[in-house]
Every structure is written in C-alpha cells, then in structure tokens.
Amino acid sequence: MQLAVVGLNHNTAPVEVRETLAVAEAVLEELYSNILLNDRIYEAMVISTCNRVEYYIVTDDFLCNVDSVLNIIAEQCKIDRSILRKYTYIYCGEESVRHIFRVAGGLDSLVMGEPQIFGQVKDAFENSRKFGAAKTFVRKLEEFVIKTTKKVRTNTGIGDNPVSVSSAAVELASKIFGSLEDKHALVVGAGEMCEIACKHLRSASIGGITVTNRTFEKAEKLAAEVGGNAVPLDKFREELSHADIVLSSTGASGYMIEAPDIKPVMIRRKHKPMFFIDIAVPRDIDPAVADIENAYVYDIDDLKAVVESNKKLRQKEAVKAMEYIENGVTDFYRWVESMKIVPVIKALRESFDEKRMLELDRFCDKFKVTDANERRKLEYLLSAFMNKVLHTPLNNLKDLAPGKENYSLDEAVKIIFDLKE
C-alpha cells in the first residue's frame, strides 16, 4: 500500500483554473463515493483551498489509479483532461508524505509559514473520516501530520516575522507604540490591503478602528467586520486628531493627507506621536508630513524592505522545519514497514490458537475432563501461557520489521525470541 497525490496549487495553476477545480463541501460525499468505486483505491482525502486542490489516495497500483483520479476530476469539473494534466503535479510514496507534511507546516504556501493551512488540512482529514474514506492508513497519516506540524510550529520561527505589507505595517506600529490597546487607528480605504491591515490591527488588540472610504457602504462593511466605526470620506480629516495610527491605501491620483493637514492636528494632540502608514501607489500621504515633530511616515518601499528581511528569516527557519518533516517522514514509513508484518503476526497467532484448542480437546478427552468449569480453567491456563510465550516475539517482530538489516536464521531466532547467549 502506498500514498499518492494528484494536485495543483498557486505555483502550477492560475486562479481561474483553481476556481474551476475547487471542491465545494456539498459535493464531497458524492466525490468520495466516486473515488472509492475503484476497488484498488482503499482510502482517500481531498484538500481544497483558494490556493490548492489536492486528491490523496491509498492504493496498491499507483499508475492506474492516479489515472483514474485524473478522469474523475476531469469529469467532475468539466475540464479537458489534457488541460488538467498541464497544471497538475503527481507524487507517490515518500514524496507524497513529505508533500503533505510541507503543506500542513506552511512550507508550500503562497505566504510561507501561514498558519491557516494547518486548520484546513485538519478539516480535510475530518471530512475524509466523515464520508468513510479514512481507514488505518489515512488515520495514522493524520496522527503523524498533526504531531509533526506541531513540532514545526513549536520549535521553529516559521510563522514569525510578518511577510505581507499589511502585517509588516502593524508590526512596525507595535514596535513604535509597544502595546496598541490604548491606541486608535484611522484607516483610509476599504480595499484588500486595508482589510488585511484592519484584521491585523484587531488581532493586535488595538483600542479602536475608524474606517473611511469613497464608497461609504464599503467602509461600513469593513468597520462592522473588525468592530470599528465608519465615517464618510469628506469627514475623515476631523478624525485625525484622535488617530495614533493612520493607514492609507486608496486609488487617489494625489495626496489624501498633506503636511498642512497635520500641523494643526499635532497641536490639538499636544504633539503626541502619530504613525502614518502609506501603502498606496501612487502615494496617499505627503512625504513632508515626516518633517513634522513626532510624525512618522512609512511608505510601501519601507515596508517592502521589512517584508524581504522577514522572508529571509522565514527561509532560514524553513531549513529547521524540514529537519522535523524529514524525521516525521522517516517515522511514518517505519510504521508503514511495520504493517507489512501484521499478516505474519495474525497467521502466527491463529496457528497457536488452533494448536491450543486441539491440545485442550486432546487433554480433556484423554483425562476424561467433562466438567465445564474445569475446562474453562484449563483454557484460561493455556491462553495465559500462550500469551506469555508470544508476547516477546510478536513485539519484536513489530518493532524490528521496519529495519533493513539482514540476519541469518539463527540470529533472527535469537533476536525475535530474545534468547541470551
């Protein structure tokens, strides 16, 4: 039995292809049923996020059954198979296990180290169980994925040091002010960059957020999502004196905030520090604002420098993370190898059980044991003795089966039965 994966992600397929192949939760039950109709596919799991779609299968016929999955995807998504193959990658065996460990640990994400994917992978395992597609192999894989990812998260800094412009902006604000709990932010704009920044500000426990935007309804919607309040764009300058942090990202052709706007504001604030974050191109905030005492201005180039520095730090941590992942792959495949001995152990125990019952019958016939209670006592004695005899060899078979060592017959017997010299 081996694991195989057929998938595509942000590196191999454009967003319009990923959207076409995305799997809605409503169709999962039918999809799993279709996959498991193939009697050579024993277990399956599907991961579908905005940046990846991956089909994992447990099979004993890698080539044929990957082909079967490609046909199912093509039919389900109404996409030509030749086009589908252009965008997909295929891994098998250890490479597929290594891949899912990298995915869960955030090493294969668009933003390296992002934590959301771990939860999405856990949800995928849960759905696999829910729809009857997870048995021994997938359940054990889930156990190892969770254990290994927790080690990566706990023992490396793969998720530290923000690597998006919006998150870097909030990190800088936190460094300047320390705690943000008693600070107020004014966010000018309600696009994606501002939305992400607002969520980071809320995560940093900021005291309050005010949002303004050319379309007031968008400002209200974003403010409601982050527990803030909204003001019309033509009124936002009245809010400046209350703002410790001003973050702006609009599509305006000229400056939204100029130095003359801020000079009276600083007087009203008694020159308490103000932190201006300009993540617009072209810029929203007049660079001359930085000439005002206690006014600090950072534009997108400043933030990109922070982001690039942080990416290098995460890359360094990724090397450490791969050590834990490689150990996880090795440990998982020790378990896979150990499973090969299970039929031998089962056959050995059945053979001993059969001989135990034959010997019990022979003894009772020979010594005229007819009392049922006496027979149960003898059966208990034989079972207890057999379990003691088999305990060491069966455990040694399970523990040593994954090893690659070659033993002579006499060495194998000594090791399995733990015989002393």
Q: Which two tokens stand for residue 138?
A: 């997938």
Give the annotated binding-site residues for NADP(+).
189-194
Inter-CA distances, 84 with 12, 69, 140, 147, Å: 11, 11, 30, 33
From the list 50, 64, 77, 364, the catalytic residue is: 50
Please classify residue 185 by burial: count the beta carbons closer than 10 Å to its beta carbon, then call 0-12 exposed, 13-18 middle and 19+ buried. Answer: buried
Give the annotated binding-site residues for substrate.
49-52, 109, 114-116, 120
Alpha carbon distance 89, 128 (integer Å): 21
- Report whether 112 contacts 106 (CB < 8 A): yes
**E strands along 16-104, which residues?**
41-48, 52-59, 89-92
Give the annotated binding-site residues.
49-52, 109, 114-116, 120, 189-194
The pair phi, psi for residue 215, each rounded to 5°, is -95, 110
Closest CA to 363 of 385, 382, 340, 389: 382
Inter-CA distances, 303 with 280, 293, 343, Å: 12, 21, 59
50 is catalytic: yes
Say how many C-beta atoms besides its own lie within 10 A of residue 10's C-beta: 16
Alpha carbon distance 154, 148 (integer Å): 10
What single-letter amino acid sits at 332? F
Say how many C-beta atoms besides its own lie within 10 A of residue 419's C-beta: 10
| 384: Cβ contacts below 8 Å, ≥ 6 apart | none
Alpha carbon distance 360, 347 (integer Å): 20
Q: Which two tokens stand for residue 128?
A: 């696999």
Continuous H helices in 94-215: 94-104, 116-130, 136-155, 165-177, 192-203
Q: Which two tokens stand for residue 35?
A: 């996959």
Length of the chain measured in residues: 421
Q: Which two tokens stand for residue 205?
A: 């426990």
3 state SS of 211: strand
3-state secondary structure 241-256: HHCCEEEECCCCCCCC
Q: Which residues are catalytic?
A: 50
